[in-house]
Amino acid sequence: MNRVVSASFNKVLKSILVLILFLAFGVSISIAQDYEGDAENGAKVFKGNCASCHLPTDKKFTGPGLKGIEDRRSKEWIIKWVKNSQEVIASGDPYAVKLFAEFNSSVMPSQAVTEEEIIDILAFVNAYVPPKKAIVEVEETGASTDEGTSTGTYGLILLALAALGLILYVANSKLQRFVLEKQGKDAPRLASVGSHFKDWSGRNKRLVGLVVVLLIFGGLNDAFDRMMDIGVYTDYAPEQPINYSHKIHAGDLKIECVYCHFGAEKGKTAGIPPANVCMNCHKAVSEGTTTGTAEIAKIYAALDITEDPMAAEYGENKKPIEWVRVHNLPDFVYFNHSQHVVVGQVKCQECHGPVEEMDVLKQESPLTMGWCIECHRTKDVKMQGNGYYEKIHAELKEKYKDEPGKVFTVENIGGLECAKCHY
């Protein structure tokens, strides 16, 4: 009897559970059908879960563009796809199989989002309006000419003053002669400028001597300063074949310097990134935020891409992009990027300035021998926990054990030895 009651109770309980699940599923479907979505929340969810593979436009990225997706598939299908795309593909759904093949058999992982959040994303995609592109032209810049301009201006001012002085001198002499003649007096013969200067300098020998000495020393000082500036190109910002903005890439998009200049961690030179590194992003991004399609099209032209950039198939008539070098050291100087970037843990900005703020890259630092030596004398070496310096750190701590808290600079590890840079 007890067994019969127990069995009946279990059946009733199962029926209740099935009914609850059915009602819950029905409510869920009802919510999915009636809920219109929150576009503002959808923008946040899209950025956190979808933006790495999809664009809210109809353009392809790693995955298909989402614009108009509700015209192609129902909300219920989209929810199933986002929750478990592998299951939809395995079911043999024609559209799912087509997507799987079109995007090189790459499977979208299941996303930890609710149905409401998926609908929020759809609301965001439907409401998304691409920002207008402000096409701007960057002015051609070159080496700073402030000093040359100032020198030329001063020279013109001095020349104008000298001419004005001569005119006033001649006018004054003629006026004096005119007044004397009107008074019926004998006007003295008008002396030449040279005669007056000779007479004046004879009466003011000390002043003339002081002026001559000052002119000599001033000229020598100016010549020395100019010679010291030979080969120094601070603020040099040449026009490049492609209007590339470090401010957008390193600043706004937060792309690490070594992603493009990967040689900086591996050897002597940082290197100019090859065009195929640009294509990691620009196979999908064909329009810039400030220059439209004009500049990115130059990358495609260099790689001889004539059709869909997403295909990443380069043509046979590739041409190198002829970038103009900005930072350049003399051939007799040895500098190793990896020694500074990896071992010394020096930030790129310490030598190259705030590149993340530069639309047009310029030479920020003078890169002179004195500038390097000053850094080696004052820059403390990050030795603590740095495997490259374990042995020398222990030796220095023993050598300077009577000076607790001493900061070790590059000078303490031989950074001022001539052969370190010249050999």
Mean pLDDT over residues 87-99, rounded?
Answer: 85
| Choice between 360 and 81, residue whose per-residue pLDDT is larger | 360
**Per-residue pLDDT tens over the stretch 293-335:** 999 999 999 999 987 787 767 889 999 999 999 999 989 999 9
Give the pLDDT score at 152. 52
The length of the chain, given as a count of residues: 423
Confidence class for position 105, pLDDT limits 50, 70, 90: low
pLDDT at 337 exceeding the cut of 70: yes
* Joined tokens for residue 126: 């439907």
132-141, 347-356, 380-389: least confidently modelled range: 132-141
Confidence class for position 113, pLDDT limits 50, 70, 90: confident
Give the pLDDT score at 108. 78
Give the pLDDT score at 301. 93
pLDDT at 417 exceeding the cut of 70: yes
**Per-residue pLDDT tens over the stretch 62-81:** 778 888 888 888 888 888 88
Give the pLDDT score at 353. 95
Confidence class for position 24, pLDDT limits 50, 70, 90: very low
CA distance 20 to 13: 11
pLDDT above 90 as % of the chain: 30
Give the pLDDT score at 192. 66
Give the pLDDT score at 90. 86
pLDDT at 283 exceeding the cut of 70: yes
Give the pLDDT score at 187. 65
pLDDT at 188 exceeding the cut of 70: no
Give the Cα-Cα-Cα angle 113, 118, 121 (nearest 5 degrees).
Answer: 120
Q: Which residues lie across from 409 on neighbouring strands?
A: 380
| Choice between 376 and 100, residue whose per-residue pLDDT is larger | 376
CA distance 256 to 272: 14
pLDDT at 204 exceeding the cut of 90: no
CA distance 215 to 223: 12
Give the pLDDT score at 386. 87
Which class for 125: exposed (0-12), middle (13-18), buried (19 or more C-beta within 10 A)?
buried
Give the pLDDT score at 88. 83
Confidence class for position 266, pLDDT limits 50, 70, 90: very high
133-142, 272-281, 402-411: least confidently modelled range: 133-142
Averaging pLDDT over each range in 13-17, 161-165, 172-176, 353-357, which range is the top one?
353-357
CA distance 69 to 64: 9
pLDDT at 19 exceeding the cut of 90: no
Give the pLDDT score at 2. 43
pLDDT at 258 exceeding the cut of 90: yes
**Per-residue pLDDT tens over the stretch 226-257:** 888 888 889 999 999 999 999 999 999 999 99
Per-residue H/E/C for the chain: CHHHHHHHHHHHHHHHHHHHHHHHHHHHHHHHHHCCCCHHHHHHHHHHHCCCCCCCCCCCCCCCCCCCHHHHCCHHHHHHHHHCHHHHHHCCCHHHHHHHHHCCCCCCCCCCCCHHHHHHHHHHHHHCCCCCCCCCCCCCCCCCCHHHHHHHHHHHHHHHHHHHHHHHHHHHHHHHHHHHHHCCCCCCCCCCHHHHHHHHHHHCHHHHHHHHHHHHHHHHHHHHHHHHCCCCCCCCCCCCCCCCCHHHHHHHCCCCHHHHCHHHHCCCCCCCCCHHHHHHHHCCCCCECCCECHHHHHHHHHCCCCCCHHHCCCCCCCCCCCCCCCCCCCCCCCCCHHHHHHHCCCCHHHHHCCHHHCCCCCCCCCCCHHHHHHHHHHCECCCCCCHHHHHHHHHHHHHCCCCCCCCCEHHHHCCCCHHHHCC
pTM of the model: 0.58
